[in-house]
Every structure is written in structure tokens, then in C-alpha cells.
């Protein structure tokens, strides 16, 4: 099969690799209909995360089940499925509490920019769609695999809902889908923080009511000015840097909630400042599996269209070009067709 390998920062290659194969009776193999490049893949591409040795990459996927292990009961060969980047048994105590991304049997997916993918814990990870989707639904279902699931978790963790003002730090795909999620959860006012006109447009389309272009302390001042000096009830942090995390904390009112889902890079929280804010912090890798049935249903009934975050579609052969486009911010998110 053909699969993507990162050799070093900036060096992405599509290579001929051994076909993905089951290694445990709880595995499945999925033939991918679509995959994509994540903002978090860029950390390695940019050299912020070291690439110790060449390794396969990619963790967002939808496709058709091609093989299942002897112990797999919940999915069948031929079904179209959506899965998450963190596999889960969906039966342990942590999973049953809704934190499947911390499952005691978790294995991360890391070879999904390919034609075939081995999915561990298939029963507790893959969710089948009601039937074979129309082609135009596939990008939306693919978004549910990570960016929508993560944005939704952030909105949920930030307790976005009726009567709430939600501020969203980060205008990448996750931040934009955090806007969509907050809207779906009934938030009254949604403030998107973005300096890019195309991303502002999408944020407004997804339900943002206000746009703030300032960043850092100026951005915080703007949020305060829009919320009677108090700060937002709910803040979604979807970047993962020191600046974005502090912006989120300082833009939240006392007693408010922050859902942080940007993968943290060198973030250090000042204890004393945090102590005096009185805010709730909750986040981390999203338990996408918790939300998948509901998200698939919303997409299947065409009530949400999260796949609009894909503004560039390329054949898998041109994966390196896709990374360049996202790195240079010419694309919000790149869909790859195996
Ligand atoms: Zn579990």
C-alpha cells in the first residue's frame, strides 16, 4: 500500500509500505476513503517536535472495513466507519465515564495518511454510519474523526450552552469547529478571535456573533469590553502556546470554564495568577468516541456541515504539497484522497 512517512522536519514522502495488517484479534483493517492533515501534524513538520527517526504519520480517517479480527463484534466487513485518533475499548471504567481518549487499553493511531489502516480496539473505537454515505458527506464525516470531535469536546468542557458567552482562541479547523459546536450547544453569543478574513467568514457561517482581531492582552481587553468587564463564561483554547493559553485564562470570568484542546507546547501556568482567577480548566486529548454517535447523526441528517473546514483537496500522492499549504497557512485544512 502507499503510506505517508515523515523523515525529518519538512520532509514528507508517500512511500510503498507493507499493507496494514491485524496484529490482535481485537483489530480491524480499514480501507480509507479519505484522510487529512492535522494542525498537530505540523508540530513535527515544523521541527517543534523532534523526528527521531522516519515514521508513518496521520490520525484522522474514515473508510470501509476490510478485515476484522476474531474477537470483533460491533463492526462488520463492508461497513463505512468513523474512528478516533485515540483507540479505546469503550468498556473500562474510564471509557464508561466518557474519557475514551484515556482508555486503559488506549493505543494512538499514527499511520492514517495511507490507503489502509490497522485500527486497534476496533469494537470500542469504530462507529459505523447508517449506510454507505453519499460522496459529498465524506468530508463532514472525516471532520468528525478529530477536528469536530475535538472542537465539540472543547465546547463541552467549557460548558458552552444557553445564556453563555463563548470566546474561541484559535482560528484553525478546531477553533472554527469549536464555534460550530458552541452554536449547536445553544450558546447565546460566540466571539471568534481571528485575524484572517477567510477564517472570519467561516466562523460567522458556523455561528460566531462577534469577531475579535486583537491577540494577547489586547485581545483579552476586547473580550472584557464585550462582556461588561467580566470576561466570557466559556473559553475554548485551540492553539496550545503560552500566549493562547494565557489569553484564554485571562479572557474567562471568575467561575467560568476553559476547554483547552490545543496540544500544549512549552506552556507554563503561573500558579499564583491561576489561583486568583477562579476559573475551571479542563481539556486534553478529546474523547471523540463519546461524541461520535451524535455527531454522525447530525451529519447524516445534514444539520451540520463541519467539512467546510477543508479548503484544499489533494490526491494522497500530493501529500507533501498539502503539508506545505498548511504550514504556509494557504489552507485551513487539507483533505487527502487515497
Ligand atoms: Zn477503556
> What are the tens digits of pLDDT across the range 196-241?
999 999 999 999 999 999 999 999 999 999 999 999 999 999 999 9
* Centroid of ligand 1 to alpha carbon of 290 (angstroms): 11
Q: Helix crossing, 147-157 with 138-145: angle to 10°?
A: 50
Confidence at residue 10, expressed as pLDDT on a 0 to 100 scale? 97
C-alpha cell, 89: 475499548
Of the candidates 129, 85, 117, the one whose C-alpha atom is nearest the C-alpha of residue 289 is 85
* Centroid of ligand 1 to alpha carbon of 165 (angstroms): 33
Confidence at residue 82, expressed as pLDDT on a 0 to 100 scale? 98
Provide the pLDDT confidence category of residue 159 given band limits of 50, 70 and 90: very high
Task: Return the number of other C-beta atoms located less than 10 Å from residue 300's C-beta.
Answer: 16
C-alpha cell, 53: 527517526
pLDDT, mean over the chain: 97
d(CA 289, CA 100): 6
* Centroid of ligand 1 to alpha carbon of 317 (angstroms): 35
pLDDT tens profile 29-74: 999 999 999 999 999 999 988 999 999 999 999 999 999 999 999 9
* Centroid of ligand 1 to alpha carbon of 285 (angstroms): 14
d(CA 12, CA 318): 10
* Centroid of ligand 1 to alpha carbon of 86 (angstroms): 10
How far is CA 120 from each of CA 46, 71, 84, 196, rounded to the nearest angstrom? 29, 11, 11, 39
Query: What one-character-per-residue DSSP string does 54-77 give?
Result: -EE----EEEEEEEE-TT--S--T
Specify the CATH number for 150-283; select among 3.40.50.720, 2.30.110.10, 3.40.1010.10, 3.20.20.70: 3.40.50.720
* Centroid of ligand 1 to alpha carbon of 167 (angstroms): 32
pLDDT tens profile 260-311: 999 999 999 999 999 999 999 999 999 999 999 999 999 999 999 999 999 9
Q: Which residue has the cell 450547544?
A: 185
CATH topology for 2-146+287-337? Quinone Oxidoreductase; Chain A, domain 1 (3.90.180)
* Centroid of ligand 1 to alpha carbon of 90 (angstroms): 5
Reported pTM: 0.97
* Centroid of ligand 1 to alpha carbon of 96 (angstroms): 7
Residue-range domain boundaries for the chain: 2-146+287-337, 150-283
* Centroid of ligand 1 to alpha carbon of 106 (angstroms): 7
* Centroid of ligand 1 to alpha carbon of 98 (angstroms): 9
- Counting residues of the chain whose pLDDT is more than 70, the rounded percentage is 100
C-alpha cell, 237: 483554547
Provide the pLDDT confidence category of residue 242 given band limits of 50, 70 and 90: very high
SS3 label, residue 210: strand
* Centroid of ligand 1 to alpha carbon of 125 (angstroms): 10
Confidence at residue 132, expressed as pLDDT on a 0 to 100 scale? 98
Confidence at residue 84, expressed as pLDDT on a 0 to 100 scale? 96
**Is 286 within 8 Å of 310 (Cβ atoms)?**
no
* Centroid of ligand 1 to alpha carbon of 224 (angstroms): 40
* Centroid of ligand 1 to alpha carbon of 277 (angstroms): 34
pLDDT tens profile 143-158: 999 999 999 999 999 9
* Centroid of ligand 1 to alpha carbon of 124 (angstroms): 8
* Centroid of ligand 1 to alpha carbon of 97 (angstroms): 9
Of the candidates 29, 107, 10, 105, the one whose C-alpha atom is nearest the C-alpha of residue 324 is 10
Amino acid at each position: 500500500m502507499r503510506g505517508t512517512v515523515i523523515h525529518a522536519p519538512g520532509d514528507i514522502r508517500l512511500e510503498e509500505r507493507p499493507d496494514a495488517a491485524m496484529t490482535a484479534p481485537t483489530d480491524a483493517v480499514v480501507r480509507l476513503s479519505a484522510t487529512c492533515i492535522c494542525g498537530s501534524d505540523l508540530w513535527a513538520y515544523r521541527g517543534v517536535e523532534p523526528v527521531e527517526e522516519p515514521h508513518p504519520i496521520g490520525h484522522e480517517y474514515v473508510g470501509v472495513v476490510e478485515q476484522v479480527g476474531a474477537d470483533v463484534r460491533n463492526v462488520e466487513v463492508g461497513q463505512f466507519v468513523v474512528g478516533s485518533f485515540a483507540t479505546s475499548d469503550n468498556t473500562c471504567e474510564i471509557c464508561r465515564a466518557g474519557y475514551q481518549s484515556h482508555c486503559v487499553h488506549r493505543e494512538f493511531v499514527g499511520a492514517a495518511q495511507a490507503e489502509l489502516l490497522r485500527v486497534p480496539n476496533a469494537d470500542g473505537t469504530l462507529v459505523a454510519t447508517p449506510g454507505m454515505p453519499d460522496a459529498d458527506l465524506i468530508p463532514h464525516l472525516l471532520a468528525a474523526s478529530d477536528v469536530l470531535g475535538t472542537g465539540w469536546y472543547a465546547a463541552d468542557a467549557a460548558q458552552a450552552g444557553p445564556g453563555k458567552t463563548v470566546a474561541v482562541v484559535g482560528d484553525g479547523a478546531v477553533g472554527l469547529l469549536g464555534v460550530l459546536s458552541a452554536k449547536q450547544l445553544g450558546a447565546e453569543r460566540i466571539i471568534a478571535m481571528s485575524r484572517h478574513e477567510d477564517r472570519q467568514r467561516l466562523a460567522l457561517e458556523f455561528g460566531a456573533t462577534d469577531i475579535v482581531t486583537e491577540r494577547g492582552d489586547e485581545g483579552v481587553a476586547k473580550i472584557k469590553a464585550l462582556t461588561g468587564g467580566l470576561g466570557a463564561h466559556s473559553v475554548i483554547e485551540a492553539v496550545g502556546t503560552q500566549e493562547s493559553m494565557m489569553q484564554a485564562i485571562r479572557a474567562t470570568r471568575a467561575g467560568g470554564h476553559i476547554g483547552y484542546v490545543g496540544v500544549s507546547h512549552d506552556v507554563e501556568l503561573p500558579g499564583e495568577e491561576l489561583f486568583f482567577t477562579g476559573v475551571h480548566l479542563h481539556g486534553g486529548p478529546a474523547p471523540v468516541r463519546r461524541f461520535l454517535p451524535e455527531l454522525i447523526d447530525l451529519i447524516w441528517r445534514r444539520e451540520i456541515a463541519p467539512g467546510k473546514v477543508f479548503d484544499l483537496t489533494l490526491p494522497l500522492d500530493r501529500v507533501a504539497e498539502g503539508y506545505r499549504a498548511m504550514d504556509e497557512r494557504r489552507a485551513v485544512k487539507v483533505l487527502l484522497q487515497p
